[in-house]
Amino acid sequence: MALNFIISQIEEKRHFSFSAFLISLALTVLISSMPAHADDKQTVDDRASGSIKSHGLSTFGVLKYNPDFKHLDYANPDAPKGGKLSMIGTEARVTFDSFNLFIRKGDRAQGLEYIYDSLMTRAYDEPDAVYGLLAQFAEVHNDKKGVTFYLRPEAKFADGERVKASDVVFTIETLKSKGHPRYRVSLRDVELVEALDDKTVRFRFKGNQTRDLPQRVAELPIIPEHFYKTVPFEKAGLDLPLGSGPYKVGKFQQGRYVRLMRRDDYWAKDLPINKGRFNFDELRYEYFKDRGAEFEALKAGVFDLREEFTSKDWATKYKFDAIKKKKVIADTLRDDTPSGTQGFFINTRREKFKDIRVREAIGLAFDFEWTNKNLFYNLYKRTSSYFENSEFKAMGLPSEAELALLTPFKDKLNKSVFEEIKLSPKTNGTGQDRKNLRKASRLLKAAGWSMKKGVRTNQAGEPLTIEFLTFSPSFSRIILPIIRNLKTLGIQATLRLVDPAQYQERLKSFDFDLTTSRFSMRLTPGVELRNFFGSKAAKQAASFNLAGISHPVIDDLIDKISSAKTRADLVTACRALDRVLRSEFYWVPHWYKNAHNVAYWNKFSRPLKKPLYHRGIIDLWWFDKEKAAKLPSK
């Protein structure tokens, strides 16, 4: 199962998504057609087609794990099963009204990703490798235009029905026709999916961007066709879902909690890919409408674990008595994944933001140095790149390889693309850097917005207004200082605080001026970039292209990223894309840190080795009876 792609929104780095898993599986790490370990005795060579059946797939190289591997290196195969992990989920949710993971309608409950299995699943100590789960083998076709999966005969849904090739066909066809709109983008080049028999399913692809498609379909959650003969797929409600994964929905109370119970009869519990994983008998997600109450509930032991996304709170609040006595552990887990693309996204669908000079001026009003010192206790670094903290970040002058991609479009690009790339502007840390504000004023004037009696207006006498949309009251402390600076520039800037449900609806319909959002780039970017930066996604309701980016060169560079044959080519294309995106000022970059700040009651243990590219808590930790016995009973 995949749980690596997160889009987030709220306080510095608090995760948000309509469902982390929906996006995780629809747009997660993708795959090329290169077979791995073809010379291994357990890899089957299909001489008829010349292609090779493999136990796993990797984008640009061989797999780390041989077909006879016993368990993932970072998992403890002897981890005991049992106990409960209760937590606040990583999505910005205060309630739920649906267990349907796959449609746009409704507020989905958290943790639903653990109900479903996929054909193949990630190893989080490799950047882009997947290994067999429902499918024992995958066979990428020689022409790179398709892939065939061979299902395990023992794979079953929770009701005992076998997982068949027809279920895979049903999944793909249903997601494409009735699923969340994002599936239409991510699966648009899947031309055909057919069941050759009960255990064999073949995909055929169209177009030239097929490198990533085998892994994309390999990581989709597979849903049962027979279940949806009685339950409407498009229904957003609290009908208990049916999957083949390690957990099932247990008791729940809408708006308060949902319990996921580990399945003792889980068909794949003894597979090497799952050894030492899914150790908790119960995963419980708690819902609070107030973050203050949420924090107090952690202190009181109402729930077990909380990831803190607010630097001020991490620096000042986590000093309570239970932490001093080591009953609660405040821990920092290293994060080696790309840091995430967070910032104020500017909605260029609105006429007032179409001029690049206006967008650049808005960015100059943000004083990160003051914010970091006064609000974040200097715990953060300024983001400059859409690929921050990764090898894809553009630096310095373009390389010859980058120029080869960019020069043919020179007449369509800003000249800054070909110059030394600029980092996010620095300030003097006073909160009102006059130098930056003077530059912003000049840019606004050049764009046709003149200052008249302290108000920035256009030739028609209309004032320049900017509304920041958020659902997080605590984020106002970050927005209000930039609003003050914008008002100094004569801009009528305001903050609009709405409830989470209204916020999500306004985002889906792009009804905002500026909003704060964050999404994480994959370790091997591919066609999913269309959803963030592609011209078609700019017009697609509920897409992740919040800024409304519609640029032919960006579309072309995304195609080059998706079709890169080597990692070197991928790095080059991503850096070229980064240069173009940054030159257009579609966003005001925020900040990052490569760590997870986590507080939890001291009743858990974990493997000595953390997976490089995953937090690993739910997957790999376990309930420790000896530690729990030392804690006071509640």
Please name which of 103, 121, 117 lies closest in space to residue 31, comparing C-alpha atoms: 121
Torsions phi, psi for 625 (to 5 deg): -60, -40
**What mean pLDDT do residues 122-131 have?**
93
The pLDDT-based confidence of 533 (bands split at 50, 70, 90) is very high
Is residue 311 within 8 A of residue 380, CB to CB? The reply is yes
Q: Does the pLDDT value for residue 266 go beyond 70?
A: yes
Please tell me the distance from the alpha carbon of residue 603 to that of residue 30, in angstroms, as a whole number: 36
User: Rounded mean pLDDT of 61-86?
Assistant: 95
Q: How far apart are CA 187 and CA 94, in angstroms?
A: 31
pLDDT given at position 634: 56
The per-residue pLDDT for range 395-407, each reduced to its tens digit, is 999 999 999 999 9
Q: What are phi and psi of 491, to 5 degrees?
A: -90, 135
The whole-number average pLDDT for the span 223-232 is: 96
CA distance 54 to 39: 10
Report pLDDT for 340: 76
What is the structure's pLDDT at 336?
A: 84
Distances (CA, A) of 341 to 215, 301, 390: 24, 33, 12
Which of 23-32, 198-207, 508-517 shows the lowest mean pLDDT across its residues? 23-32
pLDDT, tens digit, for every residue of 316-351? Answer: 999 999 999 999 999 999 888 888 799 999 999 999
pLDDT of residue 91: 53
* 185 Cβ contact partners less than 8 Å away, ≥ 6 residues apart: 527, 530, 531, 534, 536, 537, 540, 543
* pLDDT over 60 (residue 1): no
pLDDT of residue 34: 33
Tens-place pLDDT, residues 357-376? 999 999 999 999 999 999 99
pLDDT score at 42? 34
Q: Does residue 74 carry a pLDDT above 60?
A: yes
Tell me which of 51 and 384 has the higher pLDDT: 384
Question: Across residues 591-595, what is the average pLDDT?
Answer: 89
Q: Is the model's pLDDT at 30 over the cut of 70? A: no
Q: How confident is residue 107, by pLDDT bands cut at 50, 70 and 90?
A: confident
The burial of 20, by beta-carbon neighbours within 10 Å (0-12 exposed, 13-18 middle, 19 or more buried), is given as: buried
What is the predicted pLDDT for the residue at 65? 97
pLDDT of residue 89: 65
Say how far apart CA 200 and CA 138 lie, in whole Å: 10
613/465: higher pLDDT: 465
CA distance 132 to 349: 43
Break the chain down into helix, strand, coil percent, rounded to 5: 30, 20, 50
Average pLDDT over the chain reads: 89
DSSP H helical ranges for 466-566? 476-488, 500-508, 529-533, 535-538, 552-562
- Judge whether residue 18 has pLDDT over 70: no
What is the percent of the chain where pLDDT is above 70?
91
Answer yes or no: is pLDDT of 153 > 90. Answer: yes
How far apart (Å, rounded) are the C-alpha atoms in residues 131 and 83? 28
The β-bridge relationship of strands 305-308 and 595-601 is: antiparallel
| Domains and their CATH numbers in the chain | 7-229 (3.40.190.10), 342-592 (3.10.105.10)
Higher pLDDT pick, 301 / 7: 301
Q: Kindly report, residue by residue over 158-181, the tens digit of the pLDDT.
A: 999 999 999 999 999 999 999 988
Please, which contacts does 570-574 make with residues 24 or more away whose CB atoms are closer than 8 Å?
570/60, 570/392, 570/524, 570/525, 571/391, 571/392, 572/399, 572/401, 572/402, 572/405, 573/405, 574/387, 574/392, 574/525
Neighbours of 276 (CB within 10 A): 18
Question: What pLDDT score does 259 carry?
Answer: 97
Within 61-196, where are the H helices?
165-178, 181-186
381-382/305-308 β-pairing: unpaired
DSSP-derived pairing of the beta strands 591-592 and 381-382: antiparallel
- Cα separation, 30 vs 213, in Å, equals 7
Residue 27 binned pLDDT confidence (cut-offs 50, 70, 90)? very low
Mean pLDDT of 409-430: 96
Q: How far does Cα 526 stand from its chain's mean position?
A: 14
Average confidence (pLDDT) over 566-595 = 95
As given in the structure block, the two tokens for residue 268 are: 């794949």
- Tell me, what's the pLDDT at 35? 32
352 token code pair: 């007032």
Phi, psi of 30 (to 5 degrees): -115, -175
pLDDT at position 211 is 84
The pLDDT score that the predictor gives to residue 23 is 37
**Relative orientation angle of helices 567-583 and 552-562, to the nearest 10 degrees:** 160
Higher-scoring residue by pLDDT: 187, 9: 187
Residue 12 pLDDT > 50: no
